[in-house]
A and B are shown apart, each in its own frame.
Chain A
Amino acid sequence: MRTVVAILTVVAFASVPLWLRDPYLMNALITTGIFIIGAMSLNLLLGFTGQLSLGHIAFFGIGAYVSALTSLGFDAGLPFGFRIVHEPWPPIIGFVLAIVVAGLCGYLVGLLSFRVRGAYFVIVTISFAEVVRLVALNWVELTQGPLALTNIPSITIGMPGLGDLTLRTKLQNYYLVLAVAVIAYVLISRLVHSHFGRAMRGLMENETLAVSVGIDVTKTLTLAAVISAGIAGAAGSLYAHYIRIIDPEVFAFINTVTMVIMVITGGKGSLAGPVVGGMIFGLLPVFLRPVMAPEAQWIAYGGVLIVILFVLPRGIVPSLAQRFAKRRSRVEAVAPVAFVKRDAKEHA
């Protein structure tokens, strides 16, 4: 059942370029797809380990910069008179490096995450993203600072027997993004259904108990952070090679908030949640643009986030799933057992 829905969804997405010719909408779909990949990676942390990373855009931006710099080459000074010179490499290597470097950064942040949880973790991640943004802004020799990195080459894929294929058109990029999104989805799905995923859920629900059955907090949380950051880095790389220009604004906090809104609206802790939330908030601007000023749109987004948290705190997908399940169970007429309030007194 679930697999059928998934395959049908992929087929539906794959058929879009066959009937949609509008380049503006195609462009919106591609960037939406890239942000959905980012939102899926955020969901892995927020929804499955309960850690709210509000600096998630840092991994995305690091991926974008690493990939762009790898394929453009650079010549930058380091302290103590050293220089680092790099000749351009094919963008596909940049894509791989983007995942690796972002994953490494995820490892560092993950190491912090078991020392500090909750509000502290949130603030650490915000700070991390801001520091990275300031470095991108001020290390002009490497990043061109506010002048942006331009002329980033498109991704080239070596096709066996067909030679190299450079993905320049919207159509090609659409399928590239779709492919990466499907891979990311399957990867996350496999992960959360494996015993690693169960360890994450266990830690989120009852850390003390999870530890007592032998779950390693540090290992589990850093693993989730590394994979999450790596996927975000992949999304950033796709972004850099599709848009072909990046500047430090990619690190803007508002981009993290966009991903958070996608995840919360769609439903954190649900695999399909970020896809649904991402489609809504990725395409909404397209339809709102003619009728609303950008500022008004943002007022609306902030409002929507609040309203969702008040009326649909679990998000769209889990709420629908629950309604569906309820209808089925009503047929079977299973009465829920009364909840028992636990004794809060602990004897010493």
Chain B
Amino acid sequence: MAAPATALKVEQVAVSFGGLVALSDMNFTVGEGEIVSLIGPNGAGKTTAFNVVTGFLDPTHGAVSYRGTALNGLKPHQIADLGLIRTFQRTSVFPNDTVYDNLLVGLHRQGRVGLLEAILGLPRARSSQRRLRERASELIERVGLERRANDLAGSLSYGEQRLVGVALALAAEPSMLLLDEPVSGMNASETHTFVQLIRNIRDRGVTILLVEHDMPMVMSVSDRIVVLNYGRIIAEGPPEMIRNNAAVIEAYLGQGAARA
């Protein structure tokens, strides 16, 4: 099997806040249709890397490109327009709207009609509205939240809110999905269902970059893993290789463990 075409390319990216170096010389790529995980101990720079890729943070140095388009200087909503969609650790829903309305907001990119058409309620705007409603129901079904569709998103459990977050990201029709610690706070069975969901999403042709703490989950779902520590990449490769990598074990368990 030939190596997949490169989707995301991160080249020599460095970020420093004042004098504090958060990332230095980070290079990695994600191929089309791959599931790649970014792991590392707390403070290793995972979220920083994520924010750079999605345009929420400008790198001090280096370049990020997606399918050949340079992302430097693009605003988050412009990057979203390229099909690169992310989820968030904390702020994953619009809390005062129902799950269903959350999805309608998430479908923003599909619902664009002219202002006049929307205000005058022209047929095109109406049929677009109808399509959006169908699509919202579909997405809710896909993440398994049918029974919660009319509840306020803020009243959902933590795990359920994560699912809404993923559905919101899917609503934007991503060609690549970036998930920021999606299973933290989920119990084992929720996590298991979530892994199925991620595989299912990938099987529909969506590339996935994952930042996650849950090692068993990462090991089971990833095609490739990139390990960060102190802002640098210390290892990269398929799960079985990472599992036995001395530098990774040292980073996670401390130096004593590696020597022992």
- Whether A196 lies near B118 (C-beta < 8 A) is yes
Distance in angstroms between the alpha carbons of A115 and B225 in the assembled complex: 39
Chain B hits for A342, CB < 8 A = 90, 158, 161
Chain A hits for B125, CB < 8 A = 194
Chain B hits for A209, CB < 8 A = 88, 91-94, 165, 168
Tell me whether A205 and B97 are in contact in the complex, defined as CB-CB below 8 angstroms, given that A212-B54, A348-B47 are known contacts: yes
Chain A hits for B36, CB < 8 A = none
- Whether A346 lies near B76 (C-beta < 8 A) is no
- Which chain B residue has the least Cβ–Cβ distance from A347? B42
- Whether B46 lies near A348 (C-beta < 8 A) is yes
Most buried by A among B42, B105, B125, B165: B105
Distance in angstroms between the alpha carbons of A347 and B85 in the assembled complex: 20
Question: Is B73 engaged at the interface, CB distance under 8 Å to the other chain?
Answer: no
Chain A hits for B207, CB < 8 A = none
- Which chain B residue has the least Cβ–Cβ distance from A186? B119
- Which chain A residue has the least Cβ–Cβ distance from B159? A340
- Whether A194 lies near B118 (C-beta < 8 A) is yes
- Whether B168 lies near A213 (C-beta < 8 A) is yes
Closest CB in chain B relative to A75 CB, distance in Å:
37
Distance in angstroms between the alpha carbons of A216 and B44 in the assembled complex: 31
- Whether B105 lies near A202 (C-beta < 8 A) is yes
Chain B hits for A340, CB < 8 A = 156-158, 161
- Whether A205 lies near B47 (C-beta < 8 A) is no
Question: Is B59 engaged at the interface, CB distance under 8 Å to the other chain?
Answer: no
- Whether B101 lies near A196 (C-beta < 8 A) is no
**Which of B90, B104, B121, B165 sits near A344, CB closer than 8 Å?**
B90
Question: Is A292 engaged at the interface, CB distance under 8 Å to the other chain?
Answer: no
Distance in angstroms between the alpha carbons of A344 and B56 in the assembled complex: 20
Closest CB in chain A relative to B51 CB, distance in Å:
10
Question: Is A339 engaged at the interface, CB distance under 8 Å to the other chain?
Answer: yes
Tell me whether A214 and B109 are in contact in the complex, defined as CB-CB below 8 angstroms, given that A339-B155, A346-B90, A347-B42 are known contacts: yes
Question: Is B181 engaged at the interface, CB distance under 8 Å to the other chain?
Answer: yes
- Whether A213 lies near B119 (C-beta < 8 A) is no
Chain A hits for B165, CB < 8 A = 209
- Whether B95 lies near A214 (C-beta < 8 A) is no
- Whether A213 lies near B185 (C-beta < 8 A) is no
**Which of B119, B158, B168 sits near A190, CB closer than 8 Å?**
B119
- Whether B119 lies near A194 (C-beta < 8 A) is yes
Question: Is A21 engaged at the interface, CB distance under 8 Å to the other chain?
Answer: no
Chain A hits for B80, CB < 8 A = 211-214
Question: Is B48 engaged at the interface, CB distance under 8 Å to the other chain?
Answer: yes
Closest CB in chain B relative to A59 CB, distance in Å:
19
Chain B hits for A337, CB < 8 A = 151, 155-157
Distance in angstroms between the alpha carbons of A74 and B232 in the assembled complex: 70
Distance in angstroms between the alpha carbons of A194 and B45 in the assembled complex: 39
Question: Is A3 engaged at the interface, CB distance under 8 Å to the other chain?
Answer: no
Question: Is B200 engaged at the interface, CB distance under 8 Å to the other chain?
Answer: no
Within 8 A of A (CB), among B57-82: 75-77, 80-81
- Which chain A residue has the least Cβ–Cβ distance from B172? A213
Question: Is B215 engaged at the interface, CB distance under 8 Å to the other chain?
Answer: no
Distance in angstroms between the alpha carbons of A191 and B125 in the assembled complex: 12
Question: Is B43 engaged at the interface, CB distance under 8 Å to the other chain?
Answer: yes
Distance in angstroms between the alpha carbons of A210 and B54 in the assembled complex: 13
**Which of A213, A343, A347 sits near B47, CB closer than 8 Å?**
A347
Tell me whether A213 and B46 are in contact in the complex, defined as CB-CB below 8 angstroms, given that A190-B118, A194-B118 are known contacts: no
- Whether A214 lies near B94 (C-beta < 8 A) is no
Question: Is A206 engaged at the interface, CB distance under 8 Å to the other chain?
Answer: yes
Within 8 A of B (CB), among A273-312: none
- Whether A343 lies near B158 (C-beta < 8 A) is yes
- Which chain B residue has the least Cβ–Cβ distance from A202? B105
Question: Is A244 engaged at the interface, CB distance under 8 Å to the other chain?
Answer: no
Chain B hits for A66, CB < 8 A = none
- Whether A348 lies near B157 (C-beta < 8 A) is no
Mask: chain B, 139-177; 1 = CB below 8 Å from A; 0 = not: 000000000000100111110010001001101100000
Most buried by B among A187, A212, A215, A336: A212
Chain B hits for A348, CB < 8 A = 22, 42-48
Question: Is B108 engaged at the interface, CB distance under 8 Å to the other chain?
Answer: yes
Chain A hits for B181, CB < 8 A = 347
- Whether B77 lies near A208 (C-beta < 8 A) is no
Chain A hits for B109, CB < 8 A = 213-214
Q: In the A-B complex, list the 4 residue pairs whose CB atoms are closest, starting with the nearest.
A: A194-B118, A195-B111, A214-B80, A202-B105
Q: A206-B93, A209-B165, A213-B85 are in contact. List 4 more A-B contacts (CB 8 A).
A: A190-B119, A198-B108, A213-B109, A346-B90
